[in-house]
Amino acid sequence: MSMIFNTEWGYLEAITRGFKNGMLKHSDYLNLTQCESLEDVMISIQGTDYGLIFGGDFSQPSVEVIEKTLRERLLQQYYYIRSHSTEPLTTFLEYIRYPFMIDNVALLIAGLNNHRSIKRLLKMCHPLGFFDQLAAIEVATNSAELFDAILIDTPIAQFVPPDLPWEHINRIDVEIVRASLYRVYLENFYDYCSKLGGNTANVMKNLLSLEADRRAITIAVNAIDSDISPKQRLKMFPSCGYLPKMALANMSTLNDSDKIRDVCNMFEGYGKMFDNFERDADGMITLEDRFLMVEAKKNVQTFLQQFHFGVFYSFFKLKQLECRNIVWISECISQRQTDKINAYIPIPFD
């Protein structure tokens, strides 16, 4: 595939590298953390490559406005690349969208279980996770109807495990539903990238294996002292990571984070993720955050190679993390919790 890469996808790779070069640098984050109001944040953002994304109207600055505008920019960049793509990149780009669809479905199910308005829930969904059937589900009155409406003949129907009892979906923890969908998604994406071969397979298998292990370990830790049985936990663990099946089976039975850490150290050296380290701000940096730091580093390294689709995946993962960082800083300023403002996830471009 590398022989025809530039002919078919060289332009889009160059565009994506350009988008990546316009992301916030360390100095930009320093400027944001010095802001005293959300209006200052919006002005500071417009001084970067984002440009005048807020239209110059700061009359009602809010975290919601900032987050919505950042999401819209991400959507614009995604669809620019998507609209100019050809197969197999088009399908690859669809795989990038699927996690957003899964998160939207989980949000809707959780909201309906708590008797929230479906119209209000739809406004909270991530725009990258919209699909045609989402607009037609306002008739759903409970999570079972919603699950039936969304997961039959929709883009993510392919990720529904056959043994998931969807007819009793209102009695299943929504996080179990989300994790079950994610597991099949990751395994399918891993297989798809493997079939593409070449540099794309090498780069993506490395990234997806880390993602699979991250999900398995965090699920194991979050399930400690819960009612989730070892069998259920194991069904939520993606099997395409570096951790062997023996390690996954062992972790599914453990209710002690130190023992989970020992298993991680024994097989893949992930035990260090459990350690406190120098930059930790009063224990605010979680296990999930530590994995995000490693993931950010790997995604930056993706751009050191050429002739592969990994640049598209890594760009959108980094852009998603950048949005998360800006929203975190904005929330800290809005709530006057500036002592926590530096607990964002650094992206090691510099």
- Alpha helix ranges (H) inside the chain: 2-21, 26-33, 38-46, 63-83, 89-113, 118-124, 143-150, 174-196, 198-222, 230-236, 245-251, 257-267, 287-301, 310-334
Q: Whole-angstrom Cα distance, residue 24 to residue 241?
A: 30
Find the domain containing 140 and state its range: 84-196
Could you tell me if residue 20 is inside a domain? Answer: no
Number of structural domains the chain divides into: 1
Q: Whole-angstrom Cα distance, residue 46 to residue 52?
A: 5
Could you tell me if residue 189 is inside a domain? Answer: yes
Full-model pTM: 0.94
72 dihedral zone (left: phi>0; alpha: psi -120 to 50; beta): alpha
**Structural contact between residues 40 and 58, judged by C-beta atoms closer than 8 angstroms:** no
Could you tell me if residue 135 is inside a domain? Answer: yes
Most distant CA pair in the chain, distance: 57
Could you tell me if residue 133 is inside a domain? Answer: yes
The separation between CA 89 and the C-alpha centre of its own chain, rounded to angstroms, equals 20
**Structural contact between residues 20 and 77, judged by C-beta atoms closer than 8 angstroms:** no
Query: What is the pLDDT tens value at each position of the chain, 350 positions in all?
Result: 667 899 999 999 999 999 999 999 999 999 999 999 999 999 999 999 999 998 866 678 999 999 999 999 999 999 999 999 999 999 999 999 999 999 998 898 888 888 888 888 888 999 999 987 776 666 677 777 777 777 777 899 899 888 887 666 667 888 999 999 999 999 999 999 999 999 999 999 999 999 999 999 999 999 999 999 999 999 999 999 999 999 999 999 999 999 999 999 888 889 888 876 444 546 677 889 999 999 999 999 999 999 999 999 999 999 999 999 999 999 999 999 999 999 999 999 86
Could you tell me if residue 322 is inside a domain? Answer: no
The helix/strand/coil state of 315 is: helix
**Structural contact between residues 295 and 347, judged by C-beta atoms closer than 8 angstroms:** no
Could you tell me if residue 235 is inside a domain? Answer: no
Could you tell me if residue 121 is inside a domain? Answer: yes
Could you tell me if residue 153 is inside a domain? Answer: yes
